[in-house]
Chain A
Amino acid sequence: MLTRKAVRWHTKNLFPHPVTEILLGLMVLATWYSLQDARKMGLYEFEVIVETVFLPVYGILVASHVFKGQRVTLFELTLFNGPKQVFIGRLVSATAGLIIGIFSIALITYVQGYSSLMAPVLLKLPTYLAMIMVLMVWLDSLGGVISFYILTSAVPMALFVILTKPYPPSPAVSLLAYFLSPIEATVGAGKLPVSVSTGYTVTLFLSATMILLSYMVFKTRDFEPQ
């Protein structure tokens, strides 16, 4: 009962939310037209627009509902009898918010005939969730948003540059690419020393581990209410 209340508490005002809806509309349009252009120009435009611009900003709007200061977190921990309900509430809230945007993009890739892009787009869900939950444990709203943007936009941009070079990146960088920019890694998989299936498996495992660890830390961490 209390867990359900915690989920409702955290999903309140997530949707409908005018800014999120406008961004979702723009993201859908940008995805649609970039995939139409892809027949002539390749997938580069789609990769840049979706992976480094729209999905990160959309992720920030969703994540801002769970990045909270220590005082709010303490208040919620007291209100919901401890970390389990608060963590589940935030995880479900972030999942619900991300699913709408990510599934929309995945659906468009399928409709436009690029079904091979569905998997890396859907892979954004566990990776974004993992990053959101880890950042949520330590950082407040501003710190969380900035860090999330760096991890989901700035780092993938840097990886774009690395992956366009003629020589192959190291296995570690390849795995990082699968985790942080799976669309780019999948499109350029032929150049990577790590296969798509291995990359996806490691990404899923890493995401699940990060979410689990973030819960363990959230459960035991100290707070400074001042």
Chain B
Amino acid sequence: MIVEAENLGVNYGRTWGIRGLTFKAKTDRLALIGHNGSGKTTLLSVFSGIRHPTTGRAVINGWEPYKRKDKWIAIRYSFEKPQFQIPVKVRDLVEVLKANPRCPWVDDLVEALEITQFLDRRIDSLSSGQSQLCNLLVALSCDSEVVILDEPTAHLDSYRAGIVDELISKRTGVIIATHDVEEGEAVADYFLILKEGRLVWSGTRKELFSNDIYEVTLIETGGQLPFKTLYRFGATLIVKAEGNELVDMLSKGIIAGFKRAGLRYAYAKSS
């Protein structure tokens, strides 16, 4: 999938949701990272074709999604905060999807997401996590060219979130928005970091993990390390160090673990 934006902007009256975005990414799974209000959902709404941009254009594989007549088939969209006032049972939802010739993976997904546990509940009586699973079922069970997922695991417990991330990481043509850096790193191979509606960093996995900066988790929450600490997030430190030095500290029981600093560092650095 090739995802492009040229001077892309969307405004809501006087406020710009996103502004001046320009990038080109060749990727199977693109992650948009940013805090609340950074413009992730606005950008997703343009790429899903449900909103026209105010300026510039967005392109996926050579076509502009909001101009495409079959956008509802070519793009499946799962948005955040799913609370549906729909007085039908989950079983009815599954039946509708099964009747859709473009959705061949319904049974597999119902099983994998453990939706069987609440098939006879009405959709308007589901918890937010269960609603989210129904939302994901609709987005992931069909063979669309592009799947757009806005905070797909925001309302899920860590077990189900893991299942969902595993499913997403096997798909191609995915654009996901998340403020969870672990989730972004788990599923995506290209990243865009947004702040206040502007693009502040973009790159591949290789570019993300290509330096001697590490994310270290301390055993003691108030502990210190003999390295230059770049950023601190509680017991998690972003440090500049050599990998063998950190292995030594791990064996001495000073740190609980470490990995190359990825999105957390890129995000903090771009502040």
**Hey, which bits of chain A sit against chain B, CB under 8 A?**
1-2, 5-6, 8-9, 12-13, 68-69, 71-72, 74-75, 77-83, 141, 222-226
* B108 touches A (CB below 8 Å): no
* B62 touches A (CB below 8 Å): no
Query: Which residues on the B side are within 8 Å of A222 (C-beta)?
Result: 50-52, 66
Total number of residue pairs linking A and B with CB closer than 8 Å: 77
Query: Which residues on the A side are within 8 Å of B86 (C-beta)?
Result: 72, 75
* B93 touches A (CB below 8 Å): yes
Min CB–CB distance B234 → chain A (angstroms): 30
Instruction: From the candidates B73, B78, B139, name the one contacting A82 in the complex (CB within 8 A).
Output: B73
The answer on a CB contact under 8 Å between A5 and B79 is: no
Contact with A along B20-45 (1 / 0, CB 8 A): 00000000000000000000011001
The answer on a CB contact under 8 Å between A9 and B83 is: no
Query: Which residues on the A side are within 8 Å of B100 (C-beta)?
Result: 2, 79-81
The answer on a CB contact under 8 Å between B87 and A12 is: yes
* B138 touches A (CB below 8 Å): yes
* B265 touches A (CB below 8 Å): no
Which of chain A's residues has its CB closest to B80's CB? A225
A224 with B93: in contact, given A75-B138, A141-B85 (CB under 8 Å)?
no
| Bound CA–CA A78/B80 (angstroms) | 14
A77 with B72: in contact, given A13-B87, A223-B51 (CB under 8 Å)?
yes
The answer on a CB contact under 8 Å between A2 and B45 is: no
* B95 touches A (CB below 8 Å): yes
Contact with A along B61-89 (1 / 0, CB 8 A): 00000100011110011111111111110
Instruction: From the candidates A9, A77, A223, name the one contacting B88 in the complex (CB within 8 A).
Output: A9
The answer on a CB contact under 8 Å between A224 and B45 is: yes
Query: Which residues on the A side are within 8 Å of B79 (C-beta)?
Result: 71, 74, 225
**15 A-B pairs, CB-CB below 8 angstroms?**
A2-B99, A2-B100, A5-B96, A9-B92, A13-B88, A68-B85, A71-B79, A71-B82, A72-B85, A75-B135, A75-B138, A78-B78, A79-B93, A82-B70, A82-B71
| Bound CA–CA A119/B75 (angstroms) | 46
A78 with B139: in contact, given A71-B79, A72-B85 (CB under 8 Å)?
yes
The answer on a CB contact under 8 Å between B50 and A223 is: yes
| Bound CA–CA A2/B79 (angstroms) | 23
Instruction: From the candidates A82, A141, A223, name the one contacting B45 in the complex (CB within 8 A).
Output: A223
Query: Which residues on the A side are within 8 Å of B52 (C-beta)?
Result: 222
| Bound CA–CA A83/B12 (angstroms) | 24
| Bound CA–CA A222/B139 (angstroms) | 19
The answer on a CB contact under 8 Å between B88 and A12 is: yes
Instruction: From the candidates B51, B76, B88, name the one contacting A78 in the complex (CB within 8 A).
Output: B76
Query: Which residues on the A side are within 8 Å of B82 (C-beta)?
Result: 71, 75
The answer on a CB contact under 8 Å between A225 and B73 is: no
The answer on a CB contact under 8 Å between B99 and A71 is: no
| Bound CA–CA A223/B12 (angstroms) | 12
Query: Which residues on the A side are within 8 Å of B76 (C-beta)?
Result: 78
The answer on a CB contact under 8 Å between B96 and A74 is: no
Min CB–CB distance A134 → chain B (angstroms): 20
| Bound CA–CA A83/B72 (angstroms) | 8
| Bound CA–CA A213/B84 (angstroms) | 27
| Bound CA–CA A80/B100 (angstroms) | 8
A5, A8, A79, A82: most-surrounded residue (chain B CB, <10 A): A79
Min CB–CB distance A92 → chain B (angstroms): 15
Which of chain A's residues has its CB closest to B83's CB? A71
Q: Known contacts A223-B45, A224-B51; can you find 8 more A-B pairs with CB under 8 A?
A: A2-B99, A5-B95, A13-B88, A71-B82, A71-B84, A78-B138, A81-B102, A225-B50
Query: Which residues on the B side are within 8 Å of A71 (C-beta)?
Result: 79, 81-84
B52, B76, B85, B139: most-surrounded residue (chain A CB, <10 A): B85
Query: Which residues on the B side are within 8 Å of A226 (C-beta)?
Result: 41-42
The answer on a CB contact under 8 Å between B77 and A78 is: yes
* B109 touches A (CB below 8 Å): no
Query: Which residues on the A side are within 8 Å of B189 (C-beta)?
Result: none
| Bound CA–CA A158/B270 (angstroms) | 61
| Bound CA–CA A79/B123 (angstroms) | 14
| Bound CA–CA A85/B86 (angstroms) | 16
Query: Which residues on the B side are within 8 Å of A225 (C-beta)?
Result: 41, 45, 50, 79-80, 150
Query: Which residues on the B side are within 8 Å of A5 (C-beta)?
Result: 95-96, 99
Query: Which residues on the B side are within 8 Å of A69 (C-beta)?
Result: 85
Min CB–CB distance B229 → chain A (angstroms): 37
Min CB–CB distance A76 → chain B (angstroms): 8
Min CB–CB distance B49 → chain A (angstroms): 9
